[in-house]
Amino acid sequence: MIYLDHAAATPVSKKVFEASGPYFLEEFFNPSSPYLPAKKVSKEYEEAKNVIARAIGAKGSDLVITAGATEANNLAMAGVSGGVLYLTTEHDSVRRVAEQYGGEAIKVLPSGLIDMEDLRGKITDETELISVSLVNNEIGVIQPIAEIGALVREVRMDRLRRGVKRQILLHSDASQALNLLDVNVARLGVDLLTLNAAKVYGPKGVGALYVSHEVRLNPLTVGGGQENGLRSGTENVPGVIGFAKAVSLAKEHLNGNRKKYAEFKKVFLDELQGYELPVKKHMLDNFVVLCYNGIDAERLVFLLEEKGVYVATGAACAASKGVRSHVLAAIGLTDSEIAGSLRISFGETNTKEQIIEAARIINEVVRAERERVAHE
């Protein structure tokens, strides 16, 4: 098996699994219980949150642990009473929520980068939240969050000067980025940041929302008042312990990972034939978007599956809904180019030999499919 879809899911790394294990079996206590073993678990839980938070330059108490990035994105907008702006290429867990708040989409340039002029033009005194993901989940484009952060700071100063009461906040979904980019809330200038364990070799169903002190959110889940009252429910201790381990490993291997995937990308593209690259720059190192115009990439997915190579045509959740990629459409691809596009995302399961082998198999499958289409 050659798995080239790490943007959809990553395996839990062995060290993460081992770190979580005891909290399923022996250290199973409810952190809210009064006796000592539970107190110990509570302390370790908080310490794990600190580890995660420190990785993004924050404190553990700034984090709200959620059941994944989707919930964190939903929570980020809960409590917003003003206007919402979101990048048109955002994941559905931002788009669909933003739409509920009457959100307006910000355009992207053909490169996939945010159109800063469009953003500037759309900010009014009513705008309360801007949501732009750090890395796009379909094309791997890295957005200039720090630049947007600086703009938001400017707008904030200007509002204060003019006596406008409404606050303006910046939210960014950094799910895809933690093991390949420096993610620091101060340097990015974000007020809200979404993290996801499942994309960085941690467990599924665990995420976090960083919430700066300036932000007042409304909880979506009420009950026992855990997570500063913003997300009630007994703490997912093994999940968070695992998340912390995954984050530590990601930080540790950050530079090594970038180098490795940059090399993978080079040998991969050297070996491949007859493709186009709709996205070329400002990308996360482990992302490749290949376009085979005139070919149905969904057929390629199944043909490659038979040869043990697993790739995607877009976000896994969008593909399962049978809709064409709104991201590829937004960067100006034609319907036929969208239909012919594959998303490849390298990861820790891969070796250089695998990448070369995969490129050869893709070449072979594409050639056969082109022949079949010609004879149809």
Catalytic positions are 317
Q: How far is the CB of 325 from other proteins (least distance, A)?
A: 14
Quote the CA–CA distance of 131 and 86 in Å, as a whole number.
5
Distance set, CA 110 to CA 36, 115, 117, 133 (Å): 58, 9, 14, 17
Give the residue with the Cβ less far from other proteins, 139 or 301.
301
Give the residue with the Cβ less far from other proteins, 131 or 313.
313
Quote the CA–CA distance of 103 and 317 in Å, as a whole number.
21
Q: Does 305 bind other proteins (CB under 8 A)?
A: yes
- Judged by CB under 8 A, the chain residues 173 through 232 that form the site for other proteins are none
Give the residue with the Cβ less far from other proteins, 256 or 322.
322
Q: Which residues contact residue 91 at a Cβ distance below 8 angstroms, ignoring those fewer than 6 apart?
A: 69, 73, 133, 137, 173, 315
Q: Which residues contact residue 284 at a Cβ distance below 8 angstroms, ignoring those fewer than 6 apart?
A: 135, 140, 141, 142, 176, 177, 180, 181
Q: Does 1 bind other proteins (CB under 8 A)?
A: no
Give the residue with the Cβ less far from other proteins, 213 or 321.
321
Among 186, 302, 336, 353, binds other proteins (CB under 8 A): 302
Q: Does 359 bind other proteins (CB under 8 A)?
A: no
Q: How far is the CB of 321 from other proteins (least distance, A)?
A: 5
Of 26-34, 57-65, 67-75, 302-310, the segment contacting other proteins by CB under 8 A is 302-310
Q: Does 372 bind other proteins (CB under 8 A)?
A: yes
Name the phi and psi angles at 289, rounded to 5: -110, 120
Q: Are 167 and 212 in contact (CB under 8 A)?
A: no
Tokens of 174: 């950094």
Q: Are 121 and 267 in contact (CB under 8 A)?
A: no
Q: Does 298 bind other proteins (CB under 8 A)?
A: yes
Among 299, 307, 324, 370, binds other proteins (CB under 8 A): 299
Q: How far is the CB of 217 from other proteins (least distance, A)?
A: 27
Quote the CA–CA distance of 89 and 112 in Å, as a whole number.
8
SS3 230: coil
In DSSP notation, 304-339 reads: HHHTTEE-BSS-HHHHTTTPPPHHHHHTT--HHHHH
Give the residue with the Cβ less far from other proteins, 64 or 366.
366
Of 13-21, 195-203, 301-309, 352-360, the segment contacting other proteins by CB under 8 A is 301-309
- Window 315-344: contact mask with other proteins (x via CB under 8 A): ----xxxx----------------------
Q: Does 306 bind other proteins (CB under 8 A)?
A: yes
Interface with other proteins (CB under 8 A), residue total 12
Of 83-91, 122-130, 163-171, 297-305, the segment contacting other proteins by CB under 8 A is 297-305
- Judged by CB under 8 A, the chain residues 66 through 85 that form the site for other proteins are none
| Residue 176 half-sphere exposure toward CB, CA atoms < 13 A | 26
The secondary structure of residue 12, as a DSSP letter, is P
Q: Are 361 and 342 in contact (CB under 8 A)?
A: no
CA 50 vs. chain centroid, Å, equals 21
Q: Does 303 bind other proteins (CB under 8 A)?
A: yes
Quote the CA–CA distance of 344 and 290 in Å, as a whole number.
8
Give the residue with the Cβ less far from other proteins, 75 or 303.
303
Of 86-94, 225-233, 314-322, 350-358, the segment contacting other proteins by CB under 8 A is 314-322
Q: Which residues bind other proteins (CB under 8 A)?
A: 298-299, 302-303, 305-306, 319-322, 372, 376
